């Protein structure tokens, strides 16, 4: 049957699946390498890449309306706000000699 619903084809699904498997193998392999702080950066980079692939193709966002894009984007934007504001607080707590900062030592 012709692909008349503007969704991905089976071939695209298989390519997506192969990429996800490759990235899973890559993230395990990288974890065994000594990269210092870059272990985290690479692991999160690979996880974000995998998530993006799943969202775009398996969840059809690449083929969806702009309103769907807006909602998916809003979810990620507010997640980043959550991380940024929480970390801005916790990371900076020891910077000034505030009365409560000894709790963190």
Query: Which residues contribute to the site for other proteins (CB under 8 A)?
Result: 1, 5, 7-8, 10, 13-14, 16-17, 20-21, 24, 27-28, 31-32, 34, 36, 39, 43-44, 46-47, 50-51, 54-55, 57-60, 64-65, 67-68, 71-72, 74-76, 78-79, 82-83, 86-87, 90-91, 104
Token match 């769907």: residue? 68
* Residue closer to other proteins, measured from CB, 100 or 104: 104
- Rounded to a whole number of angstroms, the minimum distance from the CB of residue 78 to other proteins is 6
Q: Rounded to whole angstroms, how far apart are CA atoms 64 and 47?
A: 23
- Rounded to a whole number of angstroms, the minimum distance from the CB of residue 99 to other proteins is 19
SS3 3: coil
- Rounded to a whole number of angstroms, the minimum distance from the CB of residue 65 to other proteins is 6
Contact residues for 104 (Cβ-Cβ < 8 A; gap 6+): 93, 94
Encoded tokens for 27 = 């993230």
For residues 19 and 54, the answer to whether their CB atoms sit within 8 Å is no
């Amino acid at each position: 049957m012709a692909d008349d619903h503007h969704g991905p084809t089976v071939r695209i699904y298989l390519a997506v699946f192969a990429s996800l498997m490759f990235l899973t193998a890559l993230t395990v392999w990288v974890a065994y390498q000594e990269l210092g702080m870059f272990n985290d950066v690479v692991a999160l980079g690979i996880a974000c890449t995998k998530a993006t692939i799943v969202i775009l193709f398996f969840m059809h966002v690449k083929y969806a309306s702009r309103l769907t894009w807006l909602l998916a984007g809003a979810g990620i934007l507010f997640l980043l706000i959550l991380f940024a504001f929480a970390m801005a607080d916790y990371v900076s707590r020891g910077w000034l000699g505030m009365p409560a900062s000894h709790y963190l030592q």
